[in-house]
Structure 1
Amino acid sequence: MIKLNVTDEISRLRAVILGRADSNGPVPKLEDAYDPKSAEHIKAGTYPKDEDMVKEIDAVAEVFSKYNVKVYRPHSIKDYNQIFSRDIAFVIEDKFIIANILDDRSKEIEAIEHVINQIDPSKVIEFPENAHIEGGDVMPWGEYIFVGTYYGDDYENFITARTNMKAVKHLQKLFPYKKVKSFNLKKSNTVANENALHLDCCFQPLGKGKAIIHKEGFLIEEEYEWLVDFFGKDNCFHITKDEMYNMNSNVFSISPDVIISEKNFTRLNTWLREQGFTVEEVPYAEIAKQEGLLRCTTMPLIRD
């Protein structure tokens, strides 16, 4: 049996599900793109190739092996995008929560049945159908659960709005003793650098009391200010619009001191090392073309 335990984003990682990219299928049609960044690359003819993305994910698997992290992989489904394992489910404490994601992606959860079957069935939770949620929007942080959402009445019009207020309320019901703090994120179906697809696209808490944040990703200034106050202004690394577009906030912590980051994030990686972090650099620029990065491709199951 897998004894789940995740209470934050940074405690020492022991077991994780890592996505796969070996049979992504043909380049999607433009009208089938899930996000504006993928659409950009479909138009430009620069959509990532499977073999390049496989190399990138293998580089992360090597880092996990170096730190003795147990890695589970989804079973391969032919011609199906299975890169972003964070979207399909997430763990809070000892509960495995199956996300409500876009219908087109529903097979992804079947590909990790072999993992779910090793979890106590009473700990596996499905959300009600009208409560939409994806793991990229959910961050357990001690007594808090931070959740990215979109408050607007036009929620239905945004393919980029993945977590709704019904889901935020349902999370609060599931964890009544935690403070569920929601953040209204900026959404755009057409302009990638104006779109915070998930909370981890514009914010990420790190070890040592630090955090990465992109102010313009938040629609309500008070909510952004709340986070800056919570972590302390001097502890926040503010990323630019271009850095957000390149997914600089979407790094992944193996422990309070060790972070996996993209090798081209020069300004961020320099700052992280100045703060005393060990930075494990990997190439991930091809995967980034689909508006997801390191946190999106990993789903922690056990942290100490």
Structure 2
Amino acid sequence: MQTRRSILKSTASLGLLAALPSAAFAKAPLTGTQAPGFYRMRLGDLEITALSDGTVALPMAQIYQGLSAADIGAYLKGHFINEKSEVSVNAYLVNTEERLVLIDAGTGDIMGPSLGKLVANIEAAGYRADQIDDVILTHVHADHSGGLTTADGARIYENAVLHVNATEAAFWLEASPEAVADTTLGPQIVQAHANIDPYIAADRFSTFDNDASPLPGIGSVHRPGHTPGHSAIVLKSDGEKLVIWGDIAHGDALQFDQPEVTVSFDVDQPRAAATRALAFAEAADQAYLVAGAHHAFPGIGHIRRDDTNYDWVPLSYRANY
């Protein structure tokens, strides 16, 4: 039985609905994009900003080496990783309050539209490319150096000095004719010159020795195998330590259980496997933070031992630091 009170409530509800804009019931288009890819954390007195260059779908069952494709595929499926895995490409910006130092430079425009987002995410994080004082590469592969220059050869980080391990620089920039003629290495050497030569020409290029400091207060550890001069970059402040280790591992699963598994991109696969075993053991024993270029963004976490060798433990998200 309707009462005066219930009739008034119904009338008021109808009036409210009529007052709402019709757009509230309209269909909304799908966007297909994520929020800007940056994540900040504090390391002692340093501010670290993880930056996403994007992700790329790769057939990791074919790229991983050392096991049969069937075994790799079964392992990945068991970890809910598709045949074509979405692999992150990450870089890291260090604010010392005196300098802005970028570690790795992403892909630029050379590896497709799902990548090449680094500069946009630097800007989203509140900085500009021309504010960066130094760029340090863990190594010269195109997914780490492709974002150094534009398609017409202009330096993106026009005020920065580019720092590269001396062994790494010699391998790519002083390559033998045989290496240049190699069908695998040759195109990579050409690309390395395109990415780095503009910094050399502008006198904005510097090399550092194995295990030496690229800059005061920033160290390196020579981790060869993936490339000859592949180097992890070491940050320490107020008793805390973060090792930005480039391509020690690809992905968050298989290589932690089986460090002997390599990737087809490794220049020296046996040495890359030995280096990975050493890096995993050290990170687990010393319990410092690591940041990986190809761990799921933001790519920062710890390594712990488990009953199948090691496990990757991502850093918990924090809204504030």
Give the TM-score category using the shorter length: 0.3 to 0.5
Higher relative contact order (CA 8 A, sep 6+): 1
Structure with more strand by fraction: 2
Larger radius of gyration: 2
